[in-house]
């Protein structure tokens, strides 16, 4: 039996096993998808062991190992190289790393025209944030403001640019088109809400619960829920492993929504 895993420090809480095991059953694939909950201390030793096993065919990698996995791979795709993070591993004749987070987020965005002059705010600057920043640049957004707990150098820029701190948020929220929370916390405080329009689209990549503390701040705003990105980034992983696009049906969605 072919084996697949989601790897992370909170992997037991992931809905990836629910998604992939549903597809395995639907398409009569003799495979099982589980989880590997690892720590910073044991990650490198354990991941070597699991990649050596012939029945391990694929991994999905989540926080905080999307960068650390790269040293265990033979090659990574162009997008993973630019983003500096891998969330999908194919372990067949050779160990190949891919980033499908960026395309997963791309698929969740509404069909937006005239992106050039629209302001976007990204909260947090970890691996998923890098992928989202990457796709927003590809979509043509020119004004992308990134806020983080600590000062970090921003990728995909020809000049030395750095993240802003959460304490500076209120200076930049006026007229924002899209706010994306990539952190497990909620950096938006009550004092910030008066600066945010009801026409602003709000997005959270955390998917459990569906309506996160961040999203609950905006009952009347258009929302992009985290579960959309999880499903959309999973579809190209399935295609890499099995050569076909899986479908997302209502039965699968019902199964997922019962758990969030």
**What are the catalytic residues?**
66
What would the 3-class secondary structure string for 12-32 be? HHCCHHHHHHHHHHHCCCCEE
Ordered DSSP codes for 86-124: --EEEESSSEEEE--HHHHHHHHS---S--TT-EEEEE-
How big is the chain, counted in residues?
260
54-73: buried (b, 16+ CB within 10 Å) or exposed (e) per residue? eebbbbbbbebbbebbbebb
Q: How far apart are the first and last CA of the chain?
A: 29
The owner of tokens 């099982």 is 32
Structure token pair of residue 59: 């991994």
């Amino acid at each position: 039996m072919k084996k697949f895993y989601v790897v992370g420090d909170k992997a037991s809480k992931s809905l990836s096993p629910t998604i992939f095991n549903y597809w395995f059953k639907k398409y009569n694939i003799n495979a099982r998808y589980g989880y590997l909950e690892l720590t910073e201390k044991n990650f490198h030793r354990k991941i070597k062991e699991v990649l050596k096993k012939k029945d391990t065919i694929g991994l999905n990698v989540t926080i905080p190992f999307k960068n650390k996995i790269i040293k265990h791979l033979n090659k990574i795709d162009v997008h993973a190289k630019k983003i500096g993070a891998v969330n999908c591993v194919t372990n067949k004749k050779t160990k190949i790393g891919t980033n499908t987070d960026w395309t997963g987020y791309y698929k969740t965005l509404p069909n937006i025209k005239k992106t050039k002059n629209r302001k976007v705010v990204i909260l947090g600057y970890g691996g998923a944030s890098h992928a989202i920043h990457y796709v927003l640049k590809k979509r043509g957004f020119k004004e992308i403001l990134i806020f983080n707990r600590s000062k970090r150098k921003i990728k995909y820029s020809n000049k030395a640019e750095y993240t802003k701190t959460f304490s500076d948020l209120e200076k930049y929220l006026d007229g924002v088109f899209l706010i994306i929370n990539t952190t497990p916390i909620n950096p938006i405080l009550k004092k910030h809400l008066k600066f945010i329009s009801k026409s602003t689209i709000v997005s959270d990549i955390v998917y459990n619960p569906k309506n996160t503390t961040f999203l609950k701040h905006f009952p009347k705003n258009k929302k992009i829920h985290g579960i959309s990105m999880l499903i959309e980034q999973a579809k190209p992983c399935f295609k890499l492993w099995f050569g076909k696009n899986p479908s997302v049906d209502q039965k699968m969605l019902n199964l997922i929504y019962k758990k969030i």
